[in-house]
Structure 1
Amino acid sequence: MSRTKIEYGPEPQQFGHLYLPNGAQAPVPVPVVMLIHGGYWSADFHLNLATAFAVELARRGVAAWNVEYRRVGAGGRWAETSADIAAALAATATLLPEHSPIPLDLGNVRIVGHSAGAQLAVWVAGQRDSLVRPERVVSQAGALDLASRSATRRGGVVLEDLFGVDHASDPQIYLDASPLHRVPTGIPTVCLHGAEDLRIPASGSRVYVERAVAAGDRAVLWEVPGEGHNDFLDRGSRSWELSLRAALDPAPWSVGGEV
């Protein structure tokens, strides 16, 4: 396995780490899985949250593109953050092949995001004018309805920092950024959520999947009994194991309910 730092823009936070499998481990060409870390869209959190998962993906024979992006406190609010995620996705078709000695399957790009990163993952998957249309998106404990989260004590403060305005003053920007209000995306989606998640309740993913399916999307919820928000970062958890399955299996959306 190898790791290469790739800058997809001129700003300090516009970079990612590309992890590649050993040639003997990889079918050619290899799919690309783009990883978007969470952490309240804040500079207090970094791409190292997703490093262990990226390494595991590369060990299993795919290319992992673990991206950093401008965040609140690191040169970014919504305009910069969303632009960076779109640019990082486009880089899978432009920059990554230049840095990869292994051929990449550019028709098979997948996106995995955790928490705030899941909001960004499902949001960018819904960008129909994107240079790259992902083959699937995996939401881990996703914040998928920012309009509703703006009414919570913690969510209201965090989202005002992200958008620079409260919900009452500009509800449309909250709706435009909320995956729940952007269905259908046309992209198959697996939502994973711990049943014991106290930070972002699993009910939000449940509502998203119901609305996505009603709108004609292929979407499924895997609700994980006994686990919570940060179990996705624990390689010994059921949430970790299911995330690998959602990212790698040929048709993970064929399974639903508790897993």
Structure 2
Amino acid sequence: MPRIRIDYGSEPAQFGYLYTPTEVDGPLPVVMLIHGGYWSADFHLNLATTLAAELARRGVAAWNVEYRRVGAGGAWPETSADIESALAATSTLLLESSPVPLDVADVRIVGHSAGAQLALWVAGRRDCPVRPSRVISQAGALDLVSRAARGGGPLEALFGVSYSDDPQLYHDASPLHRVPTGVPTVCIHGRGDVQVPAAASRAYVDAAGAAGDRVVLWEVPGEGHNAFLDRTTRSWELTLQAVLGDDPWTDGAD
């Protein structure tokens, strides 16, 4: 698949790769991919490379983004700003650089783990110049408040402060505490996930639905946190269905 590097800022981590199909019939939806990894520089956008290439093979444009992380020039102010800038770039830099026409009125976001937290956080930014048409949360870290109460090492590194010292900061970044986003959402979570238990997605879906969002949860028996990185899994298949399906909220998990 053709791949183009696009820098959306001047810092080393402010870039992404745009993957596009070779055969195009009309403007393509854009799928923005946000990798996980505890918001840490130990993890990189290559976690989403296989999914980006697969989406391009299936006829959409994939925008696999890097961003400043703890240890790579970022804490929460930089990380959150980069995600918003990368999303806004779909309507400017991507249009200018893409070899194929893009439908920037249809930007879908997929986030895994910490990337799902970022995806739903930016979906709730109603003043962002680009509003996503849907979000797919893969094993999302969607309840930062409860996570901090169990021991918030990665979160304290991200926010630079403990939950007890600044609870409002954690609430403001926690998807569970930011509903409704107004963006249709599919949450996919393995029931065997021990890193981020599926209860986090259940709580989010209950709260978002009660707040008026269009949201659905697909739980995957027997699969864990990293099943989304393996193209042989059910979690992978369901991700493609949620991203590419016309109406996954009605059709359900096939």
TM-score w.r.t. structure 1 length? Answer: 0.97
Task: Say whether 1:69 aligns with 2:67.
Answer: yes
Counterpart AA for 2:146: S
Deviations 1:94-116 (A, max 9, x none): 10011112110011000000000
Which residue of the partner structure matches residue 12 of structure 1? Answer: 12
CA drift at 1:152: 1.7
Partner of residue 196, structure 1:
192
Is 1:233 the counterpart of 2:211? The answer is no
The aligned counterpart of 1:51 is 49
Question: Are residues 1:222 and 2:218 paired?
Answer: yes
Name the residue aligned to 2:150: 152
Deviations 1:61-119 (A, max 9, x none): 00000000000000000000000000000000010011112110011000000000000
Question: How far apart are the structure 2 equivalents of 1:207 and 1:117?
Answer: 18
- 2:135 corresponds to which residue? 137
- In structure 1, C-alpha distance between the alignment counterparts of 2:212 and 2:3, rounded to whole Å: 38
**3-state SS in 2 of match to 1:150:** helix
CA drift at 1:250? 0.8
Please, what is the CA RMSD of the aligned residues? 0.9
Among the aligned pairs, what percent are the same residue? 71
What TM-score do the two structures reach when normalised by structure 2?
A: 0.98
Q: Is the 8 A contact 1:123 1:178 kept in 2?
A: yes
1:248 aligns with 2:212: no
Q: Indicate the residue corresponding to 2:180 in structure 1.
A: 184
Please identify runs of 4+ aligned residues in structure 1 that moved more than 4 A. none
The partner residue of 1:30 within 11, 28, 31 is 28
Distance in 2 of aligned mates of 1:251 and 1:4 = 30
Q: What does residue 211 of structure 1 align with?
A: 207
Gaps of 5+ in 2: none
Distance of 2:150 and 2:74 partners within structure 1: 23
Aligned to 1:227, what secondary structure does the other structure show?
coil
Q: Is the 8 A contact 1:125 1:187 kept in 2?
A: yes
- State the partner residue of 2:163: 167
